A and B are shown apart, each in its own frame.
Chain A
Amino acid sequence: MAFIKVENLTHIYHPGTPQESVALDKVNLSIEAGEFVAVLGTNGSGKSTLARHLNGLLLPTEGRCFIRGLDTCNEQELWQIRQQIGMVFQNPDNQLIAAVVEDDVAFGPENLGMDPQEIRAKVNASLQAVNMAKYRTFAPHLLSGGQKQRIAIAGALAMDTDCLVLDEPTAMLDPQGREEVLRTVQKLHEERGITIVYITHFMEEASVADRIVVMDKGQVAADGTPREIFADVPGMKKCGLDVPLAVEVVWQLRHQGIKLPEDILTEDELVEALEAYTCQSN
């Protein structure tokens, strides 16, 4: 059974009013436990709307959304779903609730009614996991954006979640903060096998995922490994997206008749391929 299964999901904002807009249009998607999936798309492509369906913050207008067989439309199962799916939002300032870091991380477990000692243990372990243990007693407004997002991740981990859904967690961060957050997410995926759904519009971030889902106008436009997805440069451009710089360079060079391998993703690989090419042609 797939961990996340989205069937024919349609979501319409403000139905029946002049502002009616279709955010998701018959989306079908299934994500296995332990996958690292990046969801790419421009603004208004429906990627955030999709994320909010995964833990029942939004409910489908049509279709269904299942988490481990639990239906988000079923109110009795909703809290079990929210415990399993941890959410991290875009704005680091608007998702920390308590005035002290450790109290904030404890917020989730407290809501689940765990006993105090267990909460304490979970809080310590989660802060350790995101490498923020020494900021335990800080006030959130004294932390950098990247640190705040790591606290938000710790808050989700403390609930024993199996899956993190991150909705553009780095959109408001500086490059260093972006790096911190992505590293943390990668580490959690590798070391703990946590399923990751990472929504972003940064191609470089998406390229570290196992799988990329490209959203366009409320539909899944493409779905595959990063190499497969970025190989289709015209397709990506049609969805209003850029490809990583290295991929773009290779694509342009290949158009000029320079024979480079097609599956280059990173700048290091590009340099290597170019060196090999120049050696060959000399």
Chain B
Amino acid sequence: MLSNITIGQYFPGNSILHRLDPRVKVLLLFFFLIEIFLFSNAVAYGIFSAVAFALMLLSGIPLGMLLRSLKPLWWIILFTFVIHLFSNPGTPIAKFWWFTLTWEGIRMGCFISLRLVLLILMSSLLTFTTSPLKLTDALESLLSPFRRFGLPAHELAMMMTIALRFIPTLIEETDKIMKAQQSRGADFTTGNVMKRLRNMVPILVPLFLSAFRRADELAMAMEARCYRGGVGRTQMKSLKTGGVDYLAIAGFVLLTVSLLGIKVLA
């Protein structure tokens, strides 16, 4: 029952988006999201939507799958939309009790909802096309300039890598412990919430014990393989910024410049 958990939502493929340097992807996404908030005219939103749609097609990921990532946030989007409908002063259209529906409200509601949808779609596009490991490498590399301010970039990345490595192992172990306890009469499925939580204790105690033991042994194995922290360490798969990446950056700059142009002209 616990065995079919996947971490993240990486969808393997070989599209241009998959091949981009993850650092470039993270940075471009970051700036793109900022721009979504900076430019709020209709033309800009049209362009954003077009870009997002083009990238979704480019990624080779089934559209349905991408749209499904909106599902958990569907209610928030709807809620935001409704709030904006009634909370903007302007030309009134209709009145319910003391709520006034305005044209400005509809406009604003559409913008804000579109903004949220774009935010979610673009972010999931990143996690769909980048494996968690590459994402970790990218974060390490992007955070490394902050090392001089005491940010342990390498250690954070190493922690994430180890977590990714051990999540399946620990899930397997949890499964095993649960079965062992169940075979001796433990009951995890009946009773109220409090009772069920209390019944989890006999799972958590051995799980934690074994996790600590694993950590101890792993530390020893790492030391035996000359691990001394990030200093003087190289990487086999060093991230490379290539032609596709410069193309993407150029495209993004073009987008920004044209958005600025539209804003100045309008």
A110 in contact (CB, < 8 A): yes
Q: Is the CB of A87 within 8 A of B217?
A: no
Q: Is the CB of A97 within 8 A of B222?
A: yes
Q: Is the interface of B mostly helix, strand, loop or mixed?
A: helix
Interface range for B: 20 to 34
Q: Is the CB of B225 within 8 A of A57?
A: no
Of B109-117, B142-150, B157-165, B190-198, the one with at least 4 CB within 8 A of chain A: B157-165
Chain A contacts for B161, CB-based, 8 A: 97-99
Which residue of the partner chain, among A83, A94, A106, contacts B221 with CB atoms under 8 Å? A94
Of A63-71, A116-124, A199-207, A251-259, the one with at least 4 CB within 8 A of chain B: A116-124
The residue of chain A having its C-beta at the shortest distance from the C-beta of B229 within the complex is A111
- Rounded to whole Å, the gap between the CB of A249 and the closest CB of chain B is 39
Chain B contacts for A155, CB-based, 8 A: 225
A91 in contact (CB, < 8 A): yes
Which residue of the partner chain, among B165, B172, B222, B234, contacts A119 with CB atoms under 8 Å? B234
Interface range for A: 35 or more
Contact A108 B225, CB 8 Å, known A113-B232, A116-B235: yes
Q: Is the CB of B225 within 8 A of A159?
A: yes
Chain B contacts for A113, CB-based, 8 A: 232-234
Q: Is the CB of A93 within 8 A of B214?
A: yes
Chain B contacts for A83, CB-based, 8 A: 226
Q: Is the CB of B224 within 8 A of A87?
A: yes
- Rounded to whole Å, the gap between the CB of A195 and the closest CB of chain B is 16
A-contacting residues of B (Cβ < 8 Å)? 132-133, 161-162, 164-165, 168-169, 172, 213-214, 217-218, 220-228, 232-238
User: Given A79-B228, A97-B222, 13 more contacts at CB 8 Å?
Assistant: A79-B226, A86-B224, A87-B224, A89-B224, A93-B169, A94-B213, A95-B218, A116-B236, A123-B236, A141-B168, A141-B172, A152-B221, A156-B225
Chosen A-B contacts, 28 in total, with CB atoms closer than 8 Å, are A82-B224, A82-B226, A86-B224, A87-B225, A89-B224, A93-B169, A93-B214, A94-B213, A94-B214, A94-B218, A95-B217, A96-B165, A97-B225, A100-B133, A102-B236, A103-B236, A107-B225, A108-B226, A110-B233, A110-B234, A113-B232, A113-B234, A116-B235, A116-B237, A120-B236, A139-B168, A140-B165, A155-B225
